[in-house]
Amino acid sequence: MVRSRSSLTLLPLALSLSLGAGCDETEATSDRKSDDSPQLKDDQAAHQGKKKGKHDQKKKDKQDKKDKEDKKEHKKLVKDVRKQVKKHKIEPMPAAPEIRPELVELGQLLAFDKILSGNENISCMTCHHPLLASDDDLHLSIGEGGVGLGVDRTHPEGIFIPRNAPHLFNLHTMDVMFWDGRVRAHADGVTTPAREEVTPEMIEVFEFGAVSAQAMFPVTSRREMRGRLGDNDLSMIRDDNQTPLWEGLMARLGQIDEYRDRFEEAYPGTDFEEMSFAHAANAIAAFEIAGFASNDSPWDQFLRGDDDALSNTELKGAKLFLGDAQCVTCHSGQNLSDLDFHNIALPQFGPGKGQGLFRDDDLGRGGRIGDPALDYHFRTPPLRNTELTGPWGHAGQFADLGEFIAHYIDPIGSLASYDVTQIDPLLQPTLLSNHDAIIATLSPEMAAGLNFTHADVPALVEFMEALTDEAVFDLTHLIPDAVPSGLPVEENVVTDYANRAGTVDVRMGFNTSGAYEMQIWEPSMCEGEAAAQVTFDRNAGTFSVDAQFDGLPYRPTYCYDYNPSNDWNQYPDCVEDGRWQIWIVGRFFTKRSVFWYDGATGQLIANEHDLTGPLPPTAFPLEMPVGQMLCTDFFESDPDTLQASMHAEYDYNGMLDMLGSAGVYFSVLPKNLFNPTDLIVYYTQGGLPPDQAMDFDDVIDDIANDRGGMMVVTSYEPFPKPSYLDARDNIMIGWGGAWPEPLPVLEPPVECGTNFQWDGEFGLAE
């Protein structure tokens, strides 16, 4: 019950740093109003016009300046830039491939149809709108549950998506998708987070490689499109099991005759019943590629041979970009992106990706592939039309393009002096103090900054503006008047979350133990089975767990191979004639609690809830991530059949155990900070006060934010229990299960049918 990769892998480092400082689901319904549609369109047109007007004024000013330019200087600059273009093998942006119209039209409708979202309140284009240069103009996007478009979009709970919405221009040149590269095309097909769930048959459907595969995934994200657990039918599907979700979306589409007809027109010779969501994703990719192709910027004109396409200042910026400033090191190729990953020392804010010590960080590529050396590395963004696609950075860190460019002069200094007031006020309190961790994996080319000065920034900005294709100022033809579902195209759907309720099935197995725990793995358990169901209803205020067992040992005697007791937690050597309990783990290292250490000796004193006397003068507090769990009442199996069933009920908003306590906190931490890699599992003693009780809404939010989920785990306990085990478990573990299910990280040392005790294995991924 102590397995967590992203938090625990950072504990030794964080603790050693701290020592230095311290000794210093009822379905949601949508109110599908469109009465204000004309006004919305007027507002959107005004927003688009304002952006174009600003660009046109800049263009006029540049032309006036261009008319007065030194022709001799211009000729030399052209020669110099063309030399650099040749050196770096930069070619004009190729035209998008020809795509059959039926596929593009299907993709357009799907991309704008809110039927693909769990609560039918958001579409793919909400965050990639044609009126907003294919993004949303926000630092961090606002997903399902939000109302409005672009900077006018708000969420009633102030919820954001962890990253900035990338633009959609020239996706036909892209084989790496998402900021962390979790979808990639290669010679053997595509790599995706869904692994084998994206089948070879699906890959055969993908006509556009990674772009087709990418469109499979926003619909799976709870914060982006799917909704929180209990909001709707799709939200009840386990997060690690995408196939039923994709099947559910195709079932929705299959109920609409127009969609069935359009799918079969787009894929002639294939019946709708034979199609998967890969066909929908492929169509969305077709629309994105055909609709957002952009290859007629002044820079493209220059690359095609027009020496007069760029002004002298733009040429100076291009010369710097390709030459002394070495921007081209990462911004290379047709799209001005190497599609690789770099740490450029950008600050981190927002909800994060469930990574880092407190699971509120975003480790980028490193977090995706489990390589700490690549922490805070993000994909190099392509630069066509970048003038229009701010804010800039993987979290939209910079609101001004010039300031973002200037960041590269002194990345470390810029990180230290970051002006948080430029981001949404709701996001400002979420800025992390993780500068040391970011700098620790800084890309080598960024260590000393790039070779240009603040005086060079205006020329580089003008070169960035020369990457703008004026055709992108009018993409209204990409917006359909209506979609087959009948849901509104406008971003005015207000979601009424009538309730949050449902039942999830937790698959029970033998992969929830680790650390110093004993795994009970009797032959009867291997031959039998167990299952658990968690039922919740927010409106009724109820939460319950039901479990069924076949093969559960009856009052056996078990002894530890070695006693796992430590100075803070005691365990019996053996348990005879015991009983079983179930432990509900609802917060998996997503809460914080203070632990006290002695600054002189480095020794752990106790958790804040366990302090019994005065602290030594050298004591200091250290906030650490903790999990929380609570128990059911005792139960046992029938001695003849070894079958058992169990039912437990709790308050939805205040879960208390049979002792009336809020359960216990547990954490993984060192006994002594001077030896930070010698870890123990610490449990608080005697039960937490009721004001610390778990609220199931918090568990639902953890799941929505990719910060974990819940576990249901059995343990074998002394009966009656000694007081030192009040509210916490004896770590003899039987069946257990998690929802969602994590990938297995520990390999049992024996075959099923043999009990064993782990020897300090914490399940920390490399």
**Reduced 3-state DSSP string for 195-213:** HHHCCHHHHHHCCCCHHHH
pLDDT above 70 covers a percentage of the chain that reads: 91
Neighbours of 341 (CB within 10 A): 22
Would you give the distance in Å from CA 341 to the centre of its chain?
17
pLDDT score for 41: 54
pLDDT above 90 covers a percentage of the chain that reads: 88
pLDDT score for 55: 75
Identify the residue with better confidence: 565 or 746: 565
Residue type at 329 in one-letter notation = T
Q: pLDDT tens digit string along 33-91?
A: 343 445 555 655 665 666 677 777 776 666 666 666 689 999 999 999 999 999 999 99
Q: pLDDT tens digit string along 279-297?
A: 999 999 999 999 999 999 9
Q: pLDDT tens digit string along 466-508?
A: 999 999 999 999 999 999 999 999 999 999 888 999 999 999 9
DSSP 8-state secondary structure symbol assigned to residue 677: T
605 pLDDT above the threshold of 80? yes
Would you give the distance in Å from CA 295 to the centre of its chain?
32
5 pLDDT above the threshold of 80? no
Please state, in angstroms and rounded to a whole number, the distance separating the CA atoms of residues 17 and 624: 13
Please state, in angstroms and rounded to a whole number, the distance separating the CA atoms of residues 193 and 394: 19
Region 397-416: what's the mean pLDDT?
98
pLDDT score for 691: 96
Q: pLDDT tens digit string along 424-439?
A: 999 999 999 999 999 9
DSSP 8-state secondary structure symbol assigned to residue 749: S
Q: pLDDT tens digit string along 296-318?
A: 999 999 999 999 999 999 999 99
Backbone angles phi, psi at 622, to 5 degrees: -135, 115
pLDDT score for 18: 40
Whether the CB-CB separation of 711 and 512 falls below 8 Å is answered with yes
Whether the CB-CB separation of 629 and 663 falls below 8 Å is answered with yes
672 pLDDT above the threshold of 70? yes
Choose the weakest-confidence range: 12-21, 343-352, 580-589: 12-21
Whether the CB-CB separation of 352 and 360 falls below 8 Å is answered with yes
Please state, in angstroms and rounded to a whole number, the distance separating the CA atoms of residues 457 and 145: 39
Whether the CB-CB separation of 300 and 346 falls below 8 Å is answered with no
Cβ neighbours of residue 212 closer than 8 Å, sequence gap 6 or more: 205, 206, 278, 281, 282, 285
Whether the CB-CB separation of 616 and 23 falls below 8 Å is answered with no
Q: pLDDT tens digit string along 437-473?
A: 999 999 999 999 999 999 999 999 999 999 999 999 9
Tokens 């059959």 found at: 100
DSSP 8-state secondary structure symbol assigned to residue 135: B
pLDDT score for 498: 85
Size (the chain), residues: 766
Dihedral (Cα; 379, 382, 387, 391), 10-degree rounding: -20
pLDDT score for 65: 65
pLDDT class for 760, splitting at 50, 70, 90?
Answer: confident
Tokens 């003899």 found at: 732
Residue 280 vs residues 110, 397, 636: alpha-carbon distances, Å: 7, 33, 50
Cβ neighbours of residue 436 closer than 8 Å, sequence gap 6 or more: 17
611 pLDDT above the threshold of 50? yes
H helical segments located in 255-348: 257-266, 277-291, 298-303, 312-322
Q: pLDDT tens digit string along 316-371?
A: 999 999 999 999 999 999 999 999 999 999 999 999 999 999 999 999 999 999 99
pLDDT score for 761: 77
pLDDT class for 742, splitting at 50, 70, 90?
Answer: confident
Single out the residue of 570, 78, 4, 81 nearest to residue 322, CA to CA. Answer: 81
How many separate helices (H) and strands (E) can be counted in the chain?
19, 22
Whether this prediction's pTM lies above 0.85 is answered by yes
